[in-house]
Amino acid sequence: MVTNLHHILVWVFVAAVIQWLLGALWYGVIFKNSWRKLVGFAEGEKPKNAWFGMITFFIVCFLLSFVLSHVLHWAGTNTFNGGAKIGIICWFGFIAPPLLAQHVAENRRANLFAINGAYWLLVMMIGGAIMAAFH
């Protein structure tokens, strides 16, 4: 059992690192200007506590992957495609609804929801796929 837990935690960690790196690419390169504008950063303004944000982001990715690994186990999913599908289902049920409600309540633009929602959808798909295929 301990070996199995160790093996699962390795893939949870791998998934979290990939998700974290995707976040850096997603928010720091691909959608950098759009995201910064939609969130309200002024041109050239640096985020305060950037390191704290990055560490927090990694912890969130790890926790999300850890819980998703349990859902994958309970679902009996052990293929790349099956894991991605479970990730999509979990996104539709557990990520998208509260994220949308938060964006509506905070009067955020739909573009911001699209950027954030698409990121978390990819995170759930990639994490699910990796952890199901290599469990």
Alpha-carbon distance of 88 to 76, in angstroms, equals 16
Intervals of the chain under pLDDT 50: 1-3
In this predicted structure, what is the pLDDT of residue 1? 40
In this predicted structure, what is the pLDDT of residue 66? 95
The residue count for the chain: 135
Residue in the structure block whose two tokens are 């927090």: 56
Note the pLDDT tens digit of each residue in 113-124: 999 999 999 999
The torsion region of residue 117 among left (phi > 0), alpha (psi -120 to 50) and beta comes to: alpha
pTM: 0.91
The domain ranges of the chain are 2-133
In this predicted structure, what is the pLDDT of residue 2? 42
